[in-house]
Chain A
Amino acid sequence: MSKILRVNMTDRTAKSEDVPEKYQLLGGRGLTSAITCDEVPPTCHPLGPNNKVTFSTGIVTGTTAPTSGRISIGGKSPLTGGIKETNSGGMAGQKLARLGIKAIIVEGLPKEKGKFWLLKVNKDGAQLLPADEFAGKGLYETYPKLFAKFGKNVGIIGTGVAGERLMSMAGVCVNDPENRPSRYAGRGGMGAVMGSKGLKAVILDDTGGPGVPIANQEVFDAGRKKLVAALQEHALTKPGGTLNTYGTAALVNVINEAGAFPTRNFSDGRFEGANKISGETINETCKKRGGVGMTGHSCSPGCIIKCSNVYPKPDGTELVSCQEYESVWSLGANCGIDSLEVTGELIRLCNNYGVDTIEAGVTIGVAMEAGLAKFGDGKKAIELMHEIGKGTPLGHILGNGAAITAGTFGVVRCPTVKGQGMPAYEPRAIKGIGIIYATSTMGADHTSGYTIAPEILDVGGKVDKFIVEKADLARNFQYTTAYIFDSSGHCLFISFAVLDISSGLEGVVEECNGVLGTNWTVDDMLRMGKEIVDRERAFNEAAGFTKIHDRLPEFMKYEKLPPHNVVFDVPDTELDKVHGR
Chain B
Amino acid sequence: MNKVEVRLYASLRKYHPNPGSSEALVITLDNEAKLGDLLDKLKLPRQEVNLLMVNGNWQKESYLLQDGDRIGFFPLIGGG
Do these two chains really belong together in a complex?
yes
Interface residues of A (CB under 8 A from B): 235-237, 242-243, 245-251, 253-254, 257-260, 269, 275, 279-281, 284, 307, 325-326, 429, 446-447, 450, 452-453, 457-459, 462, 464, 492-493, 496, 563-564
From residue B80, how far is it (CB to closest CB) to chain A in Å? 6
Contact status of A251 and B79, CB under 8 A, knowing A258-B56, A275-B22, A563-B56:
yes
Determine chain A's interface SS by DSSP, over half rule: helix
Complex CA distance for A235 and B76, rounded to whole angstroms: 7
| Interchain Cβ contacts under 8 Å between A and B, 30 examples | A237-B78, A242-B77, A242-B78, A242-B79, A243-B79, A248-B79, A249-B79, A250-B78, A251-B80, A254-B51, A254-B53, A254-B72, A254-B74, A257-B9, A257-B53, A259-B56, A260-B56, A269-B56, A280-B13, A280-B22, A325-B80, A447-B80, A452-B80, A458-B50, A458-B51, A462-B58, A464-B58, A492-B80, A563-B56, A564-B56
The 3 closest A-B pairs by CB, nearest first: A259-B56, A251-B79, A248-B79
Residues of B within 8 A of A237 (CB): 78
Determine chain B's interface SS by DSSP, over half rule: loop
Say whether A280 contacts B9, CB under 8 Å.
yes
Identity of the chain A residue whose Cβ is nearest the Cβ of B13 in the assembled complex: A280
Interface membership of B10, Cβ < 8 A: yes
Size class of B's contact patch? 20 to 34
Complex CA distance for A493 and B77, rounded to whole angstroms: 12
From residue B8, how far is it (CB to closest CB) to chain A in Å? 10
Complex CA distance for A260 and B56, rounded to whole angstroms: 9
Contact status of A243 and B13, CB under 8 A, knowing A258-B53, A280-B22, A563-B56:
no
Residues of A within 8 A of B57 (CB): 258
- Having A258-B53, A280-B13, A493-B80, one finds 12 other A-B pairs with CB under 8 Å, namely A236-B78, A243-B79, A250-B10, A251-B79, A251-B80, A257-B9, A257-B53, A258-B57, A275-B22, A447-B80, A457-B51, A563-B55
Residues 8-43 of B, flagged 1 when their CB comes within 8 A of A and 0 if not, give 011101000000101000000000000000000000
Among B10, B58, B76, which residue has its beta carbon within 8 angstroms of that of A253? B10
From residue A67, how far is it (CB to closest CB) to chain B in Å? 14
Among A257, A429, A457, which residue has its beta carbon within 8 angstroms of that of B78? A457
Residues of B within 8 A of A259 (CB): 56
Say whether A325 contacts B9, CB under 8 Å.
no
Interface membership of B3, Cβ < 8 A: no
Residues of B within 8 A of A246 (CB): 10, 79
Among B7, B10, B80, which residue has its beta carbon within 8 angstroms of that of A248? B80
Complex CA distance for A496 and B77, rounded to whole angstroms: 10
Identity of the chain B residue whose Cβ is nearest the Cβ of A253 in the assembled complex: B9
From residue A417, how far is it (CB to closest CB) to chain B in Å? 18
Identity of the chain A residue whose Cβ is nearest the Cβ of B80 in the assembled complex: A248
Contact status of A250 and B56, CB under 8 A, knowing A257-B7, A280-B9, A280-B10:
no
Of A251, A280, A429, A447, the most chain B CB neighbours within 10 A belong to: A280
Of B51, B77, B80, the most chain A CB neighbours within 10 A belong to: B80
Say whether B7 contacts A453, CB under 8 Å.
no
Say whether A326 contacts B80, CB under 8 Å.
yes
Residues of A within 8 A of B53 (CB): 254, 257-258
Complex CA distance for A242 and B78, rounded to whole angstroms: 7
Say whether A250 contacts B77, CB under 8 Å.
yes
Say whether A247 contacts B78, CB under 8 Å.
no
Say whether B7 contacts A243, CB under 8 Å.
no
Among B10, B51, B76, which residue has its beta carbon within 8 angstroms of that of A279? B10
Identity of the chain B residue whose Cβ is nearest the Cβ of A284 in the assembled complex: B20
Say whether B10 contacts A242, CB under 8 Å.
yes
Residues of A within 8 A of B72 (CB): 253-254, 257
Complex CA distance for A307 and B7, rounded to whole angstroms: 24
Complex CA distance for A275 and B79, rounded to whole angstroms: 16
Residues of B within 8 A of A564 (CB): 56
Question: Which residues of B, 42-80, contact A by the 8 Å Cβ criterion?
Answer: 50-51, 53, 55-58, 72, 74-80
Say whether B78 contacts A496, CB under 8 Å.
yes
From residue A325, how far is it (CB to closest CB) to chain B in Å? 5
Contact status of A493 and B22, CB under 8 A, knowing A258-B56, A563-B56:
no
From residue A513, how far is it (CB to closest CB) to chain B in Å? 27
Residues of B within 8 A of A253 (CB): 7, 9-10, 72, 74
Residues of B within 8 A of A447 (CB): 80
From residue B16, how far is it (CB to closest CB) to chain A in Å? 11
Say whether A251 contacts B56, CB under 8 Å.
no
